A and B are shown apart, each in its own frame.
Chain A
Amino acid sequence: MKNASAIGWSEVATAEAALIERCTAGDESAYADLVSAHQRMVYTLAVHLLRDPEEALDLSQEVFLRVFRTLPSFGGRSALKTWIYRIVVNQARNRQRWWRRRHRSSQVSLDDHLQRFGDLESTGEVLPDRLLAGKETSRLIWQALDRLPFDQRTALILREVDGLRYDEIAYSLGVAIGTVKSRLTRARQALRAELLGLHP
């Protein structure tokens, strides 16, 4: 039996292609394999984007149904994982729009906050030394993240949590790499501004 760590990238791609071929042929065991291989990733991203476990479960189910419906048109233009990321992002964006139409609240945009307090990069200000990574900081960061625009939030999550490269994020969001860079910069600036405002 071959050791899992010894499997090369070409073999991964071959195994992925074989799995896709079985799925498009209607093999139910292949469906189950594909879902099992990606369900944790899909669910986690859905929770990060929607912040609701139940809704994330529902979205995950919809994502896999969409994956199987559109798998024949996949075409292999990206890795299967990146393609699935893209579907998750699109489905989550649609839900966000629906949710925002019905729950227009007085949420304060971090962009507005940034405009009020200025660009920290230009001021040269840095966070205090006493601000350490902890549960409280994480909670504040995630709260601040929720107030970011969907595209900035998604770009930062895909980069920091899922560890995607810029080109993979660009494909998942359907934008250019330059747009990804600018969104990441704006999101990080907004979060720094938020932390600085909370811990002066």
Chain B
Amino acid sequence: MTYVGCNYARERLEGFLDAELSVEEQIAVESHVRWCRTCAARIEDLQLIGMSLRSGSPALHAEGDVEPAVSALSSRVLLRLRAEQEEAFGVRFRDLFADMHLLWPALGATLAVAMCAGLALGVLRRASVELPESLATRLEAMANPGSELNPLSPDNRARVDPYFAKYVDSDRAGGISMPRVLGDGGVFESIARQDAMFTMNTVVNREGRIANVALIKTERTGTGTVSGARANDVEALLFDAVRQSRFAPALTPVGRAVAVNMVWLIVMTTVQTPAPAGSVGIAPLVTPAKGTQPAGAGVALPGTRRAPPRVLSPTA
């Protein structure tokens, strides 16, 4: 038999009393308690506490008073269960909203969450829009020649050193066809008849539409006084007319549509002829390669005399 000391036994006295020790430990502590008066007294204390708890149970004192109620517990529980099962869905649904003291806080919280979500989405949406002057936009434009942001010039070939020509993409190696004007320019007919000349810079994009319209120069000649307001109206009409023009887009040798620069020279002149009617000539001037003639340049307006087309030198 193993003899153990007080330190060993004290740590296990409660386990010994509760019969939660292993058989070896139980035997060791029991043998210790037989000769150690102090540990035996501790065991008696613990036993006294346990006995007092069992003998003084408040449930025993209350037994007589509540015994009928305890016996009726089963029937009360069954009644509640039946009532719950028979309770209509509508009543249960109403019970959900019986306690409304959290309604307004819940609504407020929901509204706050919705507002936060909307704000976050708005910020994300704005943040995703790249500014036109941003570095990312410029890099993207440079990486994508022939786009609206980086239009090509028909004289690209002239700028490529022959030594490097073989390394240059065919799109940039020249040979780009000119955009062809569609329609007869009738949109210009309603513009005022004052003698004037407008120079405009535009881009014909890959869809053949006019973009990035900018007025370079305006010259007014001839007789007659035009008020400032009238002149502005004319320019606005011209802008609209130019924007509404449609072209067959410029094509690379491999047939890919690219955006190209285009300079417009619009001249409105009154030709003094025996005929009483004045005539207006409007000519969108493309920046062509040297020696080429823009197809369709010089738009005839119904009922007027065609003005001879004028070609500008290519611009960068």
Q: A47 CA to B61 CA in the complex, in Å?
A: 10
Contact between A181 and B49, CB atoms less than 8 A apart: no
- Chain A residues with Cβ below 8 Å from B84 are 65
Min CB–CB distance A153 → chain B (angstroms): 10
8 Å CB contact of B54 from A60, A140, A160: A160
Which of B23-31, B62-70, B124-132, B232-240 is the interface stretch? B62-70
Q: Give a binary string over B71-83; 1 marks a CB under 8 Å from any A CB, 0 the rest.
A: 1011111101100
Q: A165 CA to B38 CA in the complex, in Å?
A: 26
Q: A86 CA to B297 CA in the complex, in Å?
A: 94
Contact between B57 and A44, CB atoms less than 8 A apart: yes
- Chain B residues with Cβ below 8 Å from A44 are 57, 59
**Interface check B209, CB cutoff 8 A:** no
- Chain B residues with Cβ below 8 Å from A126 are 38, 41-42, 44-45
B54 to A, closest residue via Cβ: A161
B66 to A, closest residue via Cβ: A53
Q: A184 CA to B54 CA in the complex, in Å?
A: 16
Q: A32 CA to B66 CA in the complex, in Å?
A: 19
Question: Quick one: which of B78-130 are within 8 Å of A by CB?
Answer: 78, 80-81, 84
- Chain B residues with Cβ below 8 Å from A64 are 73, 77
Q: A54 CA to B65 CA in the complex, in Å?
A: 10
**Interface check B182, CB cutoff 8 A:** no
**Interface check A43, CB cutoff 8 A:** yes
Contact between B53 and A185, CB atoms less than 8 A apart: no
19 contacts between A and B (CB under 8 A): A28-B78, A31-B74, A35-B78, A39-B73, A40-B70, A44-B59, A61-B73, A127-B41, A133-B48, A133-B55, A135-B56, A137-B52, A138-B55, A141-B49, A141-B53, A141-B56, A157-B53, A159-B18, A192-B45
- Chain A residues with Cβ below 8 Å from B58 are 47-48, 51, 53, 142
Question: Quick one: which of A38-92 are within 8 Å of B by CB?
Answer: 39-40, 43-44, 47-48, 51, 53-54, 56-57, 60-61, 64-65, 68
A side interface size, CB within 8 A: 49
Min CB–CB distance B18 → chain A (angstroms): 6
Contact between B70 and A57, CB atoms less than 8 A apart: yes
Which positions in A face B, CB cutoff 8 Å?
28, 31-32, 35-36, 39-40, 43-44, 47-48, 51, 53-54, 56-57, 60-61, 64-65, 68, 121, 124, 126-127, 131, 133, 135, 137-142, 145, 156-157, 159-161, 165-166, 181, 184-185, 188, 191-192, 195
Contact between A188 and B46, CB atoms less than 8 A apart: yes
Q: A135 CA to B73 CA in the complex, in Å?
A: 30
- Chain B residues with Cβ below 8 Å from A43 are 59, 66, 70, 73
**Interface check B10, CB cutoff 8 A:** yes
Q: A106 CA to B89 CA in the complex, in Å?
A: 46
Q: Give a binary string over B256-283; 1 marks a CB under 8 Å from any A CB, 0 the rest.
A: 0000000000000000000000000000
Contact between A185 and B14, CB atoms less than 8 A apart: yes
Q: A141 CA to B209 CA in the complex, in Å?
A: 97
Contact between A145 and B38, CB atoms less than 8 A apart: no
**Interface check B51, CB cutoff 8 A:** yes
- Chain A residues with Cβ below 8 Å from B49 are 141, 160, 188, 191-192, 195
The answer to whether residues A142 and B53 also contact, given A32-B74, A137-B48 and a CB cut-off of 8 A, is: yes
Contact between A61 and B14, CB atoms less than 8 A apart: no
Min CB–CB distance A195 → chain B (angstroms): 8
Contact between B66 and A57, CB atoms less than 8 A apart: yes
B84 to A, closest residue via Cβ: A65
